[in-house]
């Protein structure tokens, strides 16, 4: 597969990327038991062992993709767990095996002290060395630099690896899309690999495809943002009294950006649906992701709205829980809608598009865009 053939126009070619028979889009959506919802494990028609073809490339991702554990298992990729701390006890994000999503977010509601930290270069080096020993060209689709410094540690580790494995092919790619947007990117990257893409092909594909994943989300309150120093405590208090719910997205660098303020939860969710209608390009064979931070009823409501959209009645929906790393910074109650759609680069200002061309993509966002916050520091 040549790199130039993998560049999407509106989104990756659904006829190439998706296996309709394996996904069973016409099958009724399975009911999810309460215990599964509380644990963070969800039924999904992507959680099927269809991704185990011989590949020319090894794919590594990380737990900040907010993966459905069943989907993660089906993808057969290496997942790097990010560290987090609850009341002084350190955990490694293992997709809710050690601690359920409900228990984690319930602890936050009761005032638990939660924090996160970046993955160290040493930890990345251990993982990359294991890949190098197997000798299969490897691509790491890493958590966006717009929210974390971890990918810089990965780049440092890749340079260290060259000392002992100078000929090993290792590519570090900033996914530029947080949360389950990274999960959607990983799902389709695995499809590309199963179709025969080489490591170089996959890098070229991912660097273009990442801009076609749209994401919109809302928070239940501003408490976690205030605790993390991202907004003043007074603003959080006023927002709570007025029942203000923000709708947020992320920019081309993967940093958070504020879309609008809404009075009430349902208005915020309906505002997300307005953006879905505006940005969705009709790729019905590609999945939609709906994730929440222990807010399953709102996620159910959001899914029902999506399925009432023309042509979306049987669209594949991947459900999962917000990971503890991202959850530590947004708090319980977040709900997000993520999907393949229009090119996010087209929403940037003229000044930013010029700066990106002149500066090789290294231009800083303008004041109209969200500034990056390290979600793992």
Under 8 Å between Cβ of 86 and 112: yes
Question: What digits encode the pLDDT tens for the residues 55-71?
Answer: 899 999 999 999 999 99
Pairing of strands 58-62, 138-142: parallel
- pLDDT of 4 > 70? The answer is no
Please report, for the domain that includes residue 334, its CATH number.
3.30.1180.10
Residues 234 and 353 occupy one common structural domain: yes
164 and 200: one domain? yes
Do 143 and 266 share a domain, yes or no? no
**199 and 224 part of one domain:** no
With 70 as the cut, is the pLDDT of residue 176 above it?
yes
In a domain, 22, yes or no: no
pLDDT beyond 60 at 295: yes
- Give the whole-number percent of the chain exceeding pLDDT 70: 73
Q: Same domain, yes or no, for 64 and 199?
A: yes
- Rounded distance between C-alpha atoms, residue 340 and residue 17, angstroms: 12
- Domain tally, the chain: 2
> Are 179 and 62 members of one domain?
yes
The tens digit of pLDDT for each residue in 204-235 reads: 999 999 999 999 999 987 776 666 555 556 65
Same structural domain for residues 201 and 219?
no
Local structure of residue 211 (DSSP, 8 states): G
Same domain for 242 and 265, yes or no, is yes
> What is the rounded CA–CA span in Å between residue 341 and residue 276?
9
Q: Residue 308 pLDDT more than 80?
A: yes
Query: Could you tell me if 248 and 257 are in contact, meaning their C-beta atoms sit under 8 angstroms apart?
Result: yes
Q: Which tokens sit at 17?
A: 């990327």
Residues 116 and 227 in one domain: no
Last residue of a domain, one of 210, 227, 255: 210
Handedness of CA 315, 97, 321, 37 (dihedral sign): positive
User: Same structural domain for residues 265 and 181?
Assistant: no
Show the domain range for 319. 212-358
Q: Tell me: do 116 and 262 sit in the same domain.
A: no
Residues 328, 375: Cα–Cα separation, whole Å: 8
Domain-terminating residue out of 210, 238, 262: 210
How does residue 118 score in pLDDT terms, banded at 50, 70 and 90? confident
25 inside domain:
no
Of the given ranges (143-157, 302-316, 359-373), which has the lowest mean pLDDT? 359-373
As a whole number of angstroms, the distance between CA 296 and CA 319 comes to 10
pLDDT at 328 over 50: yes
pLDDT value for 230: 56
Same domain, 144 and 184: yes
Question: Over the chain, what is the mean pLDDT?
Answer: 81
CATH of the domain at 186: 3.40.50.10170
């Amino acid at each position: 597969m040549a790199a130039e053939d993998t560049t999407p126009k509106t989104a990756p070619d659904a006829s190439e990327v998706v296996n309709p028979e394996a996904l069973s889009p016409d099958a009724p959506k399975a009911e999810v038991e309460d215990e599964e919802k509380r644990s963070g494990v969800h039924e999904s028609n992507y959680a099927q062992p269809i991704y185990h073809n011989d590949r020319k490339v090894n794919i590594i991702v990380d737990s900040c993709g907010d993966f459905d554990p069943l989907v993660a298992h089906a993808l057969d990729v290496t997942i790097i767990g990010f560290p987090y701390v609850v009341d002084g006890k350190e955990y490694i994000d293992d997709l809710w095996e050690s601690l359920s999503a409900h228990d984690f977010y319930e602890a936050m509601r009761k005032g638990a002290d939660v924090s996160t930290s970046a993955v160290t270069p040493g930890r990345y080096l251990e993982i990359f060395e294991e890949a190098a020993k197997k000798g299969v060209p490897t691509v790491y689709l890493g958590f966006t630099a717009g929210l974390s410094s971890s990918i810089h540690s990965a780049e440092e580790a890749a340079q260290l690896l060259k000392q002992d494995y100078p000929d090993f092919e290792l590519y570090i790619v900033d996914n530029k899309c947080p949360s389950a947007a990274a999960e959607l990117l990983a799902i389709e990257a695995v499809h590309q690999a199963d179709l025969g893409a080489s490591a170089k092909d996959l890098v070229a594909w991912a660097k273009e495809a990442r801009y076609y994943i749209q994401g919109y989300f809302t928070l239940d309150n501003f408490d976690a943002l205030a605790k993390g120093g991202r907004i003043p405590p007074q603003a959080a208090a006023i927002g709570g009294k007025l029942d203000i719910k923000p709708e947020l997205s992320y920019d081309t660098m993967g940093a958070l950006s504020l879309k609008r303020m809404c009075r009430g939860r349902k208005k915020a969710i309906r505002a997300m649906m307005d953006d879905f209608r505006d940005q969705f390009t009709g790729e019905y064979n590609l999945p939609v992701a709906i994730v929440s931070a222990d807010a399953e009823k709102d996620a159910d409501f959001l899914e029902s709205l999506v399925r009432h959209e023309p042509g979306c009645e049987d669209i594949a929906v991947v459900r999962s829980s917000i990971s503890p790393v991202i959850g530590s910074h947004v708090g319980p109650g977040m709900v997000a809608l993520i999907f393949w759609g229009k090119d996010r680069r087209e929403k940037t200002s003229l000044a930013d598009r010029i700066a990106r061309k002149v500066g090789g993509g290294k231009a800083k966002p303008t004041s109209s865009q969200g500034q990056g916050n390290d979600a793992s520091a």
